[in-house]
Every structure is written in C-alpha cells, then in structure tokens.
Amino acid sequence: MTPPPISALTIAGSDSGGGAGIQADLKTFAAHRVHGLSAIAALTAQHTRGVTAVHVPDLGFLRAQIDACFDDFAIGAVKLGMLANAAVIETVADALERYRPPQVVLDPVMVATSGARLLEPEALAALRARLLPLAGVITPNLPEAELLLGRPIPDQTAMREAIAGLRAMGANAVLLKGGHLRDDGDVVDYLGDDQGVHAIAHPRLRLEAHGTGCTLASAVAANLARGRDLRESCVAAADYVHAALRGGYRPGRGDVVVLDHYGAAPHD
C-alpha cells in the first residue's frame, strides 16, 4: 500500500463560490500532494460579485471538528483563515495550545476582495494577543497589516518597517504581501524572520483576483508540512500563486478572476 501523504488542516471560512476560503485551501493542499483536513469556522454566502451573508457556527461544533482532525491524523501544518469574532479566535487559540501542531500559518483575514468586513472589530485585540504568538508565520496583505499596526503602509520602505512592528507585536515571522501597493513595478512581497528581510518579486498582473491570500497561506502551510524551511516555503508559495493567477478564469458573472489551483501544481 502506498504510504499516506502528510496532512494539513485549514481552520477558516467556507466560500460557497469556490474561489477562496476552505475551498481554495483544500485545492491548494491537493495540488501540493498534501491530504487536506478542514474545520469550518464560518460559512459565507458568496460569489464572484461579493459576500451576501455570513454565519458563524456553534463554538462546540468548531471544537469538535478540530478535535476530530487531531484525534485521527498526523497533522504537519495548520493554516488559519477567516475567524470572524473574538470567541472563535479564543476557541482556536485554546486548541492550538492544546495540540501544539509543528507549523501554524496565520492569514489574518479581515476584509474580502469585494470590501466586505469579515472580522468583527472587537476580534482584532484577540487576534493580536492570542494568535500572533502561536503562528510560525503570518501572511497579511497591506490593509490587514495597517489594521494590526494602526498606521498606513504607503511604500516599500514602510513595508519593511511594518514587518519590524509586527514582529515586535509578537509575530515570529511575517510574509507581508505587496499586491495592494500603488506601484507600476513588480509586486514585491517581503519575508521577515530571524535571518532578516527577504524580497520576493513577481511581474504585476493587471487582474482583479479572488482567493490569492487564502491560496498563498495554504501553499506556505503545504510546503512546510512537506518539510521545506520557511524561506523555501514562502518563495515556492508565491511562485505557485503567480502561476495560478496567470492561469486564472472567470467562472461567474463577476469580473473577479479565480485561480487555477491545479494547472499551477508544482511538479516535485
């Protein structure tokens, strides 16, 4: 019998439109030949034109999903996505402290591509206090980093300063995404860890895309689960997202591009 692949767990929100959230995470895990597990922390009614409703399930059921996964699987990494309120964040943090998975990747999802707010305001303090110190790496975009820090990040110099600020706040490592920067040049993401700050650049694609943040974080988690170090995992994940975005398509009536998760699958 073929040995089973390593498993990775996503604790995040479901996207009924299939482009982001749990659905994007599981596609990304599969593309990286990692067995995908999921604990649904929120359900969204969502399509390529926006989010129309959000439902947060019972905390006991969320705990039961997480417990079931850790009870039966060897989990190499956990990816955290949409955690809508402080109670959900506290529940997830308690579970991480109990099970101590070897790798935790936190995508601090706060605002959808459409502009819909996905994190209740009072949850921000809980995210800072409970989850930042538990994550091996956080993967905010610029608006999310601005909310975490409480200050604007207008350029690449400010991005490097923001990484230092987030690490001082408790983050072990930061992969700060530069796609929102108003710049005609390459998209530059910065990874900041104990080894310093490393730039990861790709040509800017003029597309309005859906699910890039979820996909990047889950690709980092998949690579970590497969034994790559943090820098290798982040570079490989950024390359994967760029390739998936280049092959993106529009499955709905909106203008938003959904990533081609399988066409960009790595060959190693």
| Summary mean pLDDT of the chain | 92
Spatial separation of the C-alpha atoms in residues 217 and 10, rounded to whole Å: 10
Spatial separation of the C-alpha atoms in residues 26 and 69, rounded to whole Å: 14
pLDDT tens-digit series, residues 28-43: 999 999 999 999 999 9
Phi-psi domain of 152 (left: phi exceeds 0; alpha: psi -120 through 50; beta: other): beta
Number of folded domains that form the chain: 1
| Burial class of residue 266, CB neighbours in 10 A (0-12, 13-18, 19+) | middle
- Report the Cα 182 to chain-centroid distance in Å: 22
Angle between helix 59-72 and helix 86-99 axes, rounded to 10 deg: 20
Residues 85 and 123 sit within 8 Å (Cβ to Cβ): yes
The CATH number for 141's domain is 3.40.1190.20
pLDDT tens-digit series, residues 191-212: 999 999 999 999 888 888 889 9
pLDDT over 70 for what percent of the chain? 96
**Residue 241 in domain:** yes
Ranges 64-73, 159-168, 172-181, 183-192: which has the least confidence: 183-192
**Residue 152 in domain:** yes
pTM, to two decimals: 0.95
Query: Which pLDDT score, from 0 to 100, does residue 153 have?
Result: 95
Query: Which pLDDT score, from 0 to 100, does residue 206 have?
Result: 82
pLDDT tens-digit series, residues 214-246: 999 999 999 999 999 999 999 999 999 999 999
Give every CB contact of residue 122 below 8 A, 6+ residues apart in sequence: 85, 86
Spatial separation of the C-alpha atoms in residues 191 and 214, rounded to whole Å: 17
Q: Which domain holds residue 250?
A: 7-258
Number of H helices, E strands in the chain: 8, 11
Spatial separation of the C-alpha atoms in residues 234 and 222, rounded to whole Å: 10
Give every CB contact of residue 226 below 8 A, 6+ residues apart in sequence: 6, 32, 33, 34, 76
Spatial separation of the C-alpha atoms in residues 130 and 143, rounded to whole Å: 20
**Residue 265 in domain:** no
Helices (H), the chain: 21-31, 59-72, 86-99, 123-126, 142-149, 156-168, 212-225, 230-246
**Residue 2 in domain:** no
pLDDT over 90 for what percent of the chain? 76
Residues 143 and 110 sit within 8 Å (Cβ to Cβ): yes
Residues 31 and 263 sit within 8 Å (Cβ to Cβ): no
Residue 100 neighbours by CB distance under 10 Å: 9
